[in-house]
Amino acid sequence: MNPLPAPDQVGLVFGALADPTRRWMVQALLRDGTTSVPALAAALPISRQAVAKHVVALGEAGLLERAPTGGGREVHYRLRPGALDPAAAWLREAEASWDDRLARLKANVEGEAD
Amino acid sequence: MPVRREIEIEASPEEVWEALVHEERRAQWLDEPEREVDVEVVQAPHRLVWWWGEDDAMTRVEVLVVAVARGSRVVVTESVPAFPLPALAAAFRPVGQRG
């Protein structure tokens, strides 16, 4: 068996990305590189507190990290490099496994019918 | 973000269903002897849902069987629970039992 990333860790990432607001925030980070709670609150129709909660959720899933601020007081965030790798690896592995299993199911059923 | 795969089989949904629900037949094509299948939903002959995994890392598998012109289409969706179940279970243990 290939070593799979622990589904619990993968589940945290998928759970974090299951929310449309958080997906929007990740897309904004992919586009802009860094962001901050005030910047996100200015762009989204939700309160600064709500934004902060989403930032915490993304951080707990390992998707965000603090970015160097260059002396400013505001905390900036960026995507954590490699954060999606375990989830992507699980997806690729699960897809390949199911292709194999379904091919065996087809052979099993069609062989039975002959 | 579940994984979704599908295949067409030249057999009726009822014939496909036989290979899904009978443990021996299922083991032949799953070929995952170290994973225990814990069946959650059985709706013959169209929908079977189970949980499986190794140790505490469980995922949910839903198998749908629909009739198509040439037989059946089988659609499998495997998803990871959005929440870390063992971590949650630990967090909700009575205070006295925490390590």
Query: Looking at this protein, which amino acid is placed at residue B4?
Result: R
Q: Which of B5, B29, B59 sits opposite A108 (nearest CB)?
A: B29
Query: Hey, where are the domains in chain B?
Result: 3-97
Cα nearest neighbour of B19 on chain A = A109
Residues of chain B with pLDDT under 70: 1, 54-56, 82-99
Q: Half-sphere exposure of residue A47, counting CA atoms within 13 Å on the CB side?
A: 3
C-alpha–C-alpha distance, residues B33 and B53, integer Å:
11
Q: CB pairs below 8 Å between A and B: how many?
A: 91
Q: What is the pLDDT of residues A61-111, one digit of tens each?
A: 999 999 987 777 889 999 998 888 888 888 899 999 999 999 999 999 999
What one-character DSSP code corresponds to residue A4?
Answer: P
Q: Is A83 helix (H, G, I), strand (E, B) or coil?
A: coil
Please indicate if any CB of chain B lies within 8 Å of the CB of A88.
no
> Cβ contact (<8 Å) for A102 and B82?
no
Query: Looking at this protein, which amino acid is placed at residue B43?
Result: Q
To which H or E segment does residue A35 belong? strand A34-36
- Tell me what the mean pLDDT of segment A47-64 comes to: 94
Cα nearest neighbour of B86 on chain A = A8
The CATH classification of domain B3-97, taken from the options 3.30.530.20, 3.30.930.10, 2.60.120.10, 3.40.50.2020: 3.30.530.20
A-chain residues near B16 (CB < 8 A): 105, 109
ipTM metric: 0.84
Which of A23, A95, A98 should one mutate to test binding to chain B, selecting the residue with the greatest count of B CBs within 10 A?
A98
Shortest distance, CA B93 to any CA of chain A (angstroms): 18
Check residue A56 and give its pLDDT. 94
Strand-pair partners of A56 = none
C-alpha torsion A105→B21→B83→A6, nearest 10: -50
Decide if pLDDT at A8 tops 90. Answer: no
Walk across the sheet containing A76-79 and list its strands: A34-36, A76-79, A64-67
Fold of the CATH domain A7-113: Arc Repressor Mutant, subunit A (1.10.10)
Q: Which of A6, A15, A91 sits opposite B82 (nearest CB)?
A: A15
Q: Which of B1, B3, B15 sits opposite A109 (nearest CB)?
A: B15
